[in-house]
Structure 1
Amino acid sequence: MLTVKEVAEKLSIAPSTIRYYDDQGLLPFIQRDKNSYRLFKEDELFWLELIECMRSTGMPIKTLRHVAHLHMQGKETLAERKRIFKEHREKLHKQKQDIDVALGKLEVKMKLLDSL
């Protein structure tokens, strides 16, 4: 079992961020010791990495909380979890296309400015 400090060091996430995620209901599976300190199993670190990744791409806390609770309900919620992640993936693909278009226009503009 790993403490918040150990997990924070291992994943390069601030301990306060890990506590925030727990306070927001994103870590309903973590255990606590007799002093109420949060304890993580090694295989639970993947979920923290996924939270960080999804947050960096704009997935709302509310959606991640919903996914966490679906996960706790078991395999019967697998289709719903897949649907949520598929929708987010599609949103990210659209954003990527928009960014690619914007970068192309910016490159053209930079070339024009360089020629002045």
Structure 2
Amino acid sequence: MTIAEVSKKFDLSQDTLRYYERIGLIPSVNRNKGGIRDYTEEDCRWVEFIKCMRNAGLPIEVLIEYVTLFQQGDETIEARKKLLTEQRKLLTEKMEDMKKTIERLDYKIERYEQAVVVKEKTLRRPED
């Protein structure tokens, strides 16, 4: 696949794809005889993985570390698992914080809705 096709498929800019490749988030993409990037299915799986992890908020530095470990082979399996486990724990904590924030927002919204109902009652004309 060309970079344009991958860009469209994953809704990432071509500049972002080039950046990810340059910093090592995506292993080097092969190029055809004309020098054009030729993404393989494996390359696309890396793009999908990185996009998913970035959307969840994982820092680029953590992902670079993960990819570097992956490229070192099976002797890094435990280190990779530990890295992913730590990130999962951080995301779970973040989700809990977000849940509390949503609950607080719901409470505040409810209070405003109650205030509007009270205000509307005072604006009604008394029935004759």
Q: What TM-score comes out, normalization by structure 2 length?
A: 0.80
Give RMSD over aligned pairs. 1.5
CA distance in 2 between counterparts of 1:32 and 1:73 reads 23
Q: Does 1:60 align with 2:59?
A: yes
Aligned residue pairs: how many? 115
* Secondary structure in 1 matching 2:71: helix
Q: Does 1:32 align with 2:14?
A: no
Higher strand share: 1
Between structure 1 and structure 2, the one with the greater Rg is 2
Does the 8 Å contact 1:25/1:65 carry over to 2?
A: yes
Where do 4+ consecutive residues of structure 1 move more than 6 Å?
none
Give the fraction of aligned pairs with identical amino acids, expressed as a percent.
33
CA distance in 2 between counterparts of 1:74 and 1:29 reads 16
Q: How does 1:70-85 map to 2 (within 5 A)?
A: 70-85=69-84
| 1:58-101 C-alpha deviation (Å, 9 max, x unpaired) | 22222111111111111111111111111111111111111111
Unaligned 5+ runs, structure 1: none
Considering Cα pairs closer than 8 Å and 6+ residues apart, tell me whether 1 or 2 has the greater RCO: 1
Equivalent residue number for residue 91 of structure 2: 92
Q: Would the alpha carbon gap of residues 25 and 43 (structure 1) be closer, same or farther in structure 2, given more than 3 Å must change?
A: closer
Unaligned 5+ runs, structure 2: 116-128
Equivalent residue number for residue 42 of structure 1: 41
One-letter amino acid of the counterpart of residue 102, structure 1: T
